[in-house]
Structure 1
Amino acid sequence: MPNSPSKPPVYRFAPSPNGALHLGHALSALLNADFASATGGRLLLRLEDIDRARCRLEFEQAIFEDLDWLGISFEAPVRRQSEHFADYETALDRLRSRGLVYPAFLTRGEIRAHVADIEAGGSTWPRDPDGAPLYPGPERTWDIRQREDAVAAAAATGRPYAWRLDMQKACNTIDRLLTWRETGTRPQGGTDNPESTAGTVEARPEAWGDVILSRPDAPSSYHLSVTVDDALQGVTHVVRGQDLYHATAVHRLLQTLLDLPEPVYHHHRLILGPDGRKLSKSHRDTGLAALRERGLSAADVRALVL
């Protein structure tokens, strides 16, 4: 969707306060800030803190300190996802009313066991672009009464369940080819349609199977919340790492289903560690604060990543 010439572009940096920012975050933050500055655009900060078990106030404060050290300023107020659960529930209700989501009860262990049984017999089980097995979806064929009874029983017994998108049904409601505009770089070895024109990428959300949109420990999934947030915040340009390149297909599908605007996407390279894997908080890769303590300056960090 083209932007109005009277409105400046809107960029956003959206970290999760569940650990220290590292060089990969610095690259993303600096690119967003530089693009916003070069285009006369706005830069927003969003804290993706839906996972309340891992997100902590000290990490949030550290994000502010790191961005200030890098010389990056952003508009107030900061959007915290934990303060907007009602927005995500409203979007989920819209999909639920159209019969595009269903309650899913299999645990991760049950999914692994199911896949192991299938593959033990010599067959292969489909996996998403991140390598996770697709959800078997036994509940997908239930009628409305079966689903309502199962949800009521779960509420009575405390059995956890998630809401998943019926991917095939959702894709069947779209009467046009889904694409997105890409101004960054595509991951090596990708599965993009070779006929896609430069700058236009065909979205293939079906590769992800029935993605989770809500679960007991998080009222919204990354896919749903980021799609809703970008629309509500008026984000016109999404600049993020290549690890989220293929997930864009799911976001484009949700944007279409919910009648939300389509941003321009720019996926940048990832900063890799000595072992060749991308930097990660979960692996406790060196954070920006630690680099600062070693004597590196913000200019040093910029030179390292740009």
Structure 2
Amino acid sequence: MNGPETARWEAPLHTERFAPSPTGRLHLGHAFSALTAFAAARAAGGRFLLRIEDLDRGRAREAFVAGIFEDLAWLGIDWDGPALLQSDRLEAHAAALAALERQGLTYRCRCTRRDIAEAAAAPQEGAAPAAGPDGPVYPGTCRGLGLAPGEGLAVRLDMARALAALEGRPLGFEETGAGPAGETGHIPLDPAALLAGVGDVVLARRDGAPAYHLAVVVDDAFQQVTHVTRGADLFPATPIHRLLQALLGLPVPVWHHHRLIRDEAGRRLAKRDDARALASLRAEGATPADIRARLGLA
């Protein structure tokens, strides 16, 4: 492979993972995702892994890690091997970033969220600002400035250069669930859509921590994940992940994006909604069977 770390990828078992962030208690949406992935792994005679994505050091809490273990055990979900802490993988993430830098596919950015929001609020010629998986598409303010490494600078992928590096390679991914518009089967990557609707995504944050898009593909490869089961809200990020896998020479899993669990008003559940946290429902007397029935999994 071209990347910094070779995944052991010989005749892999069907391997699923559940990868929550310990920034709150698990809710019904997490339960649906974990139960779906767990059932798929066990039905295939494969592995089910747990990864704790604890890179947000400002919000991650040990108590929430313990809560994840407690909630999964209560649901009857066990996992193979010890849980992987993403914060233990920083060297691997840095090596992947360095590999992309050596290919000339990154640049440093000093823009704040406010800078980006202000640029998006003043689109040229009256055009509406494009919104990508991470919010407003970055306008490229720092691209070409050649900023030297320094504290407080993010690292972005130069999307145009990345696509040029892969020109001529037909890239796509396999979707066994359904995207927001019902996308399923083999879905080819659309370079124009990546440029206009995704743009130069962040690979390393201003505090130096690896960003989600980079860390998730590196760690999925390390754990030999063959099938990624997650909510449909993450479908728009999948082309980014497939692109990074191609640039780093990483194995490619099959994706399954499932329906989202929503509240009575149709809103996607969030960790701040404690009323639907598994711990709260358990305290009110709910059983694992009740949770499965509520999720339509009984």
Aligned length: 284
Aligned-residue offset at 1:218? 5.2
Contact 2:71 2:279 in 1 (8 A): yes
- Structure 1, unaligned stretches of length 5 or more? 193-197
Q: Which digits, 9 at most, give the CA deviation of each residue in 1:200-238, with x for residues without a partner?
A: 112343321100000133511110000000001100000
Query: Residue 189 of structure 2 is aligned with which of 194, 203, 206?
Result: 203
1:176 paired residue number: 169
Query: Residue 122 of structure 1 is aligned with which of 126, 130, 138?
Result: 126
* Other structure's SS at 1:83 match: helix
* Amino acid of the structure 2 residue aligned with 1:185: A
Matched, 1:292 2:282: yes
Aligned-residue offset at 1:12? 0.4
Q: Give distance in 2, aligned partners of 1:265 and 1:169.
A: 26
Contact 2:52 2:83 in 1 (8 A): yes
1:27 paired residue number: 32
Aligned-residue offset at 1:136? 1.6
* Other structure's SS at 1:216 match: coil
Q: Which digits, 9 at most, give the CA deviation of each residue in 1:14-59, with x for residues without a partner?
A: 0011001000000011011101111000010000000011010000
1:50 paired residue number: 55
Report matched runs for 1:68-83 at 5 Å. 68-83=73-88
* Cα separation, partners in 2 of 1:114 and 1:229, compared to 1, 3 Å: same
2:153 paired residue number: 161
Q: Give distance in 1, aligned partners of 2:91 and 2:275.
A: 34
Contact 1:33 1:43 in 2 (8 A): yes
* Other structure's SS at 1:213 match: strand
Q: Give distance in 2, aligned partners of 1:92 and 1:182.
A: 27
* Amino acid of the structure 2 residue aligned with 1:126: A
* Other structure's SS at 1:240 match: strand
Q: TM-score, normalising length from structure 1?
A: 0.88
1:195 paired residue number: none
Contact 2:154 2:208 in 1 (8 A): no
Matched, 1:94 2:99: yes
Q: Give distance in 1, aligned partners of 2:12 and 2:243.
A: 25
Contact 1:50 1:218 in 2 (8 A): no
Matched, 1:106 2:98: no
Contact 2:275 2:281 in 1 (8 A): no
2:5 paired residue number: none
* Other structure's SS at 2:116 match: helix
Aligned-residue offset at 1:283? 4.3
- Structure 2, unaligned stretches of length 5 or more? 1-8
Contact 2:109 2:147 in 1 (8 A): no
* Other structure's SS at 2:216 match: helix
Aligned-residue offset at 1:5? 9.2
Contact 2:33 2:231 in 1 (8 A): yes
Q: Which digits, 9 at most, give the CA deviation of each residue in 1:273-294, with x for residues without a partner?
A: 1121110114445200111111
Q: Which digits, 9 at most, give the CA deviation of each residue in 1:47-102, with x for residues without a partner?
A: 00000110100000000000000000001221101111111000000000111010
Report matched runs for 1:184-263 at 5 Å. 184-188=177-181, 199-204=185-190, 205-206=194-195, 207-217=197-207, 219-263=209-253
Q: Give distance in 2, aligned partners of 1:220 and 1:28.
A: 24
1:147 paired residue number: 147
RMSD: 1.9
Q: Give distance in 1, aligned partners of 2:189 and 2:233.
A: 15
Q: Which digits, 9 at most, give the CA deviation of each residue in 1:147-189, with x for residues without a partner?
A: 33xx3xxx4xx5x11000001110111122221011112213x
Aligned-residue offset at 1:138? 2.4
Q: Give distance in 2, aligned partners of 1:234 and 1:218.
A: 26
With 87-96 and 201-210 compared, the bigger mean Cα shift is at: 201-210
With 267-276 and 172-181 compared, the bigger mean Cα shift is at: 172-181
Aligned-residue offset at 1:6? 5.0
2:258 paired residue number: 268
Q: Give distance in 2, aligned partners of 1:7 and 1:133.
A: 38
Contact 1:51 1:217 in 2 (8 A): no
* Amino acid of the structure 1 residue aligned with 2:277: G
Q: TM-score, normalising length from structure 2?
A: 0.90
Q: Give distance in 1, aligned partners of 2:46 and 2:96.
A: 28
Matched, 1:278 2:282: no
Q: Give distance in 1, aligned partners of 2:282 and 2:141.
A: 51
Q: Which runs of 4+ in 1 moved over 4 A?
A: none
* Other structure's SS at 2:17 match: strand
1:60 paired residue number: 65
